[in-house]
Amino acid sequence: MKKILKKMEDVYAAAAFAEAGEEESAREILRGEKRTEKRDQLTKRPRTQMRAPGK
């Protein structure tokens, strides 16, 4: 049962990434690959860490 829920979660996450234009990220999610580092789509450089104000 947990495997089915995990797969459904991955499918919904991949759909959200695909709708936002992050097709490669969606494919990686569906393949089950772990992303080691987030990269900027245009420059292919690592993204800067975003933090909430006051932290």
In a domain, 28, yes or no: yes
Q: How many CA atoms lie within 13 A of 52 on its CB side?
A: 1
- Domain total of the chain: 1
In a domain, 9, yes or no: yes
In a domain, 54, yes or no: no
Q: Which pLDDT band holds residue 49 (cuts at 50, 70, 90)? A: low
Mean pLDDT across 25-42? 74
* Per-residue b or e along 14-52, where b marks 16 or more CB atoms closer than 10 Å to that residue's CB: beebbeeeeeebbeebbeeeeeeeeeeeeeeeeeeeeee
Mean pLDDT across 34-54? 64
Using CA atoms, how far apart are residues 39 and 3, in angstroms rounded to an integer? 28
- Which range of residues forms the domain containing residue 36? 1-48
> Which residue did the predictor score with more confidence, 14 or 49?
14
Mean pLDDT across 16-34? 88
> Would you say residue 33 has pLDDT above 90?
no
In a domain, 55, yes or no: no
pLDDT at position 48: 65
In a domain, 25, yes or no: yes
In a domain, 53, yes or no: no
